Structure 1
Amino acid sequence: MEAKIITIFGATGNQGGSVARSLLKNPAFQVRGITRNPESDASKSLIAQGAEMVQANGLSPDEMRAAFRGSWGVFLNINSDDKLFTSPENPNEFDMGKIIVDAAASEKVQHFVFSSGPPCTEMTNGKVSMKAMDMKYKTEQYIRSLGVFKSVLPLGPGWFLENFLSKEVAPVFGGFPWFPNEEGRRVFSTPHWGGKEDVPWLSISDDFGDIVQGALLDPETWNGHFIHGLSDIRSFKELTEDFQEVTSREATWSPIEPSWEAFQTHGIHELEDVKLMFGFTQVTGGKYFGETTELHTASKLKKATAVALGYPEDKHGLVTVKEWFAARFGNAAWCKENGVIEQN
């Protein structure tokens, strides 16, 4: 049987790269990555793994149609932090999304996976307006409205666990997990999440690509279902407790109060959306995906991929927060040798 071409817009990014690496393990699929720079190290790495990489700009209808030609499925994630979208004189995220979607439709792509988000402004009655979420939701609705795809598979990625690997970001959240305070404790400082404090954590490297592949293994079954892209559900307090248990390093969660508005962005543009995310989840009672967070769907999709790829049974499940920290921070000698974490 001829392999089905899955074309990935943003194949060298975190989300697209994870999807590409997962699909490249399955001979039933052929991966075609779209990038602005096919000579980048990330592009060359995917080529070495068997992907085809094509150069195309998301604002060029002709280039996008050529990139999608012959594709059975598409994965699309648009980088909301692209500097292109910061100027009101330039096209916005929806403008780019519409060009990409129209190109896929004209090339008769059958299955469309889209990294989306809930209608932030609508759900909070205007109290919180998170442009990135609203743009993604608007694009999702446009994809659905065309009625030309056999399946439309929107999904929302949770909070990337990989963010904890960055020393640069850690001080914004109190230093956790890198920098202990004067008492030797690693403090994770955030506003409350809202609702039951069910924070959706996602390992991009371990699970995201497999979740997407699981949906593409049976796309019409999941048509129209908003997929919660996550690996585990843990409150901020539980997460620090998990870290402490597997690393034997003291850690605690310190809530920023009285509300999300007290979170400091330190003038960093990308953190503005993080602040608004806390506002959105507090106002909606923790409904980051627009509805009550659930793990069942992601678990089912991960298992479907694991079975298709012949993983051993102990690899059929999603990675827990505890497992993620244990793998990356649990061995003190390894961590010290590789500079992964400061020691007490």
Structure 2
Amino acid sequence: MDANETKTVVVIGGNLGSSVARSLHDNHEFRVRVISRDPSSAKSKKLIDSGIEVVQADYRETEQLLKAFKGCWGIFINIDSDAPNFKQRIGPSELQMGKGMVDAAIKAGIQHAVHASLPAASELTKGEVPVLAFDDKSAISKYLLEPGKFETAAIVSAAWFLENAFDPKYTAAFGGFAMIKDAEGYLTWETPAMGNSPESVPWLAVADDYGDFVHGVFLDPQRWNDRHIHGVSDSSSFAEMTTKFEEVTKLRDHALTGKPARYKEVKKGGLSAADEFKTKEVNGLFDLMHAIKGNFFNGVPTEHNDARLLKKAAAEARQSDISLKPMTVEQFFQKYAM
């Protein structure tokens, strides 16, 4: 492909995919094509309204994927692990679906691939702490990275979503922060500890940063080939995170105190989510974190520099005037706290 020719990147996948699509769309070097099972959905319509191409395809149907992938230079893959069929083991697993996407991308002639992954729970714990979504995503990554499949391939693993503070699936499981006050009037983040000391949790501002990390990889795919990149915006303890939220709301509201927030540690296995599958997953997450000493990214300490380099590269390539640095926890709450 000519260096000056517009490169089409096909994007699959949820909130991470939306962030990737919006970042790449802000750079005339790329054309973005988003795959959706329902192009009439509200999320798809938002992308279409912003000028992004959205095409329909069933992720399970190879011929539909091949048609959607035609003429694409790169692919970003992220499968929604919360789909009920995966949890209930109905139909193809996430791993089977992911492999099918990889195979279709190769057959369509796509050269460069990026996958959003998670820690290999069973492998890291010798089978003691299996987490279905984590194990399937990590297995897809291994498959995608096998030699000879793509000219380049990279993994950009997503850290802990800061947006979970405003997602009912997680606020219900984690004590109510930052939406539901407890009986004492606090917005409480209530989970087990992360498992490292001093505690350090890698946080990700999905909408503001993740897409730029992937954008940065596509700007220089050879440099990032075969790399496992930590998609992290900022790090702090759970207690520091809730304190920063309270301080931000205090300044924003010009009040003597902000919205009262706190962290309460609970024992492992003590979380309860909206359904049995999510309950098993969130408790399994903390069992895994303790088993790997709180090192979220496949058992190794969080590395911030790659994300900073990628953010800067993407910010410089985008038309919009955005920050050259990943978002801090304070900046996230300044922008999104209600």
Same fold (TM over 0.5): yes
Q: Is the contact between residue 131 and residue 284 of structure 2 (CA under 8 Å) also seen in structure 1?
A: yes
RMSD: 1.8
Specify the alignment match of 2:285 in structure 1. 277
Aligned partner of residue 33 in structure 1, secondary structure: strand
Letter in 1 for 2:281: D
1:264 positional shift = 2.9
Aligned partner of residue 116 in structure 1, secondary structure: coil
Do residues 54 (structure 1) and 55 (structure 2) align? yes
Q: Is the contact between residue 172 and residue 274 of structure 2 (CA under 8 Å) also seen in structure 1?
A: no
For 2:11 and 2:169, locate their aligned partners in 1 and report how far apart those are by CA, in whole Å: 29
Q: Is the contact between residue 302 and residue 316 of structure 1 (CA under 8 Å) also seen in structure 2?
A: yes
Please list, as runs of the form range in 1=range in 2, the aligned pairs for 1:295-306 lying within 5 A after superposition: 295-306=304-315
- Out of 296, 308, 327, the position equivalent to 1:288 is 296
Letter in 2 for 1:223: N
For 2:305 and 2:241, locate their aligned partners in 1 and report how far apart those are by CA, in whole Å: 20
Do residues 316 (structure 1) and 318 (structure 2) align? no
For 1:266 and 1:49, locate their aligned partners in 2 and report how far apart those are by CA, in whole Å: 33
Do residues 18 (structure 1) and 19 (structure 2) align? yes
Q: Is the contact between residue 11 and residue 77 of structure 2 (CA under 8 Å) also seen in structure 1?
A: yes
C-alpha spacing 1:168/1:74, structure 2 compared with 1 (3 Å): closer
For 1:278 and 1:32, locate their aligned partners in 2 and report how far apart those are by CA, in whole Å: 36
Please list, as runs of the form range in 1=range in 2, the aligned pairs for 1:43-192 lying within 5 A after superposition: 43-88=44-89, 90-166=91-167, 169-192=170-193
- Out of 235, 238, 241, the position equivalent to 1:239 is 241
Deviation digits for residues 146-184 of structure 1, max 9, x if unmatched? 523111111211111112123564343222223334544
Question: Size of the alignment, in residue pairs?
Answer: 325
Deviation digits for residues 216-249 of structure 1, max 9, x if unmatched? 1111101111111121111101101111211223
1:212 positional shift = 0.9
For 1:18 and 1:120, locate their aligned partners in 2 and report how far apart those are by CA, in whole Å: 26
Do residues 208 (structure 1) and 210 (structure 2) align? yes
Do residues 7 (structure 1) and 2 (structure 2) align? no
Deviation digits for residues 88-131 of structure 1, max 9, x if unmatched? 45221111111111111111211100011221111112221001
For 1:31 and 1:255, locate their aligned partners in 2 and report how far apart those are by CA, in whole Å: 43
Q: Is the contact between residue 151 and residue 223 of structure 1 (CA under 8 Å) also seen in structure 2?
A: yes
Aligned partner of residue 174 in structure 1, secondary structure: coil
For 1:266 and 1:84, locate their aligned partners in 2 and report how far apart those are by CA, in whole Å: 16
Deviation digits for residues 178-200 of structure 1, max 9, x if unmatched? 33345443321110111132211
Q: Is the contact between residue 120 and residue 133 of structure 1 (CA under 8 Å) also seen in structure 2?
A: yes
For 1:157 and 1:164, locate their aligned partners in 2 and report how far apart those are by CA, in whole Å: 16
Aligned partner of residue 252 in structure 1, secondary structure: strand
Specify the alignment match of 2:336 in structure 1. 328
Specify the alignment match of 1:307 in structure 2. 316
Which aligned runs of 4 or more in structure 1 are off by greater than 6 angstroms? none
C-alpha spacing 1:299/1:311, structure 2 compared with 1 (3 Å): farther
Percent identity between the aligned chains? 38
C-alpha spacing 1:164/1:87, structure 2 compared with 1 (3 Å): closer
1:86 positional shift = 3.8
1:271 positional shift = 3.4
Deviation digits for residues 293-328 of structure 1, max 9, x if unmatched? 12111111111111112555x711111111111222
Aligned partner of residue 261 in structure 1, secondary structure: coil
Q: Is the contact between residue 174 and residue 187 of structure 1 (CA under 8 Å) also seen in structure 2?
A: yes
Do residues 249 (structure 1) and 250 (structure 2) align? no
C-alpha spacing 1:112/1:262, structure 2 compared with 1 (3 Å): same
Aligned partner of residue 146 in structure 2, secondary structure: helix
Q: Is the contact between residue 2 and residue 28 of structure 1 (CA under 8 Å) also seen in structure 2?
A: yes
Aligned partner of residue 215 in structure 1, secondary structure: helix
In the alignment, structure 2 segments of 5+ residues that lack a partner are: 250-257
Specify the alignment match of 2:28 in structure 1. 27
1:287 positional shift = 1.7
Aligned partner of residue 221 in structure 2, secondary structure: coil
Do residues 38 (structure 1) and 55 (structure 2) align? no
